[in-house]
Amino acid sequence: MFAIGTADSNGKVTGKPEFKEADQDFKASTMRYNFDSKKGKITYVSSKEGEGYIHGETVKKDSSDNLYIRTR
């Protein structure tokens, strides 16, 4: 699966992809996810984790549910 937001006539991106897995919600610029391998890559992501938030430029998820987050 690949998802990306849509630009309006002014170039502003709206309808950014959102993904929910178990109790986590992710909002991002782009998302790629392979349902067979359970691996994914998300760019410019934000997600609420407990009382805090996760922000990353690139996030990769492996089949063991480990998240690898790259920030600037």
More confident residue, 72 or 31: 31
User: What count of Cα atoms within 13 Å lies in the side-chain half-sphere of residue 67?
Assistant: 18
**% the chain with pLDDT above 90:** 10
Question: Given phi > 0 = left and psi -120 to 50 = alpha, else beta, which region is 64?
Answer: alpha
Mean pLDDT of 41-46: 86
The mean pLDDT of the chain is 85
Give the integer Cα–Cα distance in Å for 4 and 7.
10
pLDDT at 22 over 80: no
Task: Name the burial class of residue 39, with classes exposed (0-12), middle (13-18) and buried (19+) by CB atoms within 10 angstroms of its CB.
Answer: middle
Higher pLDDT, 72 or 40: 40
Fill in the amino acid letter for 16: K
pLDDT value of position 36:
92
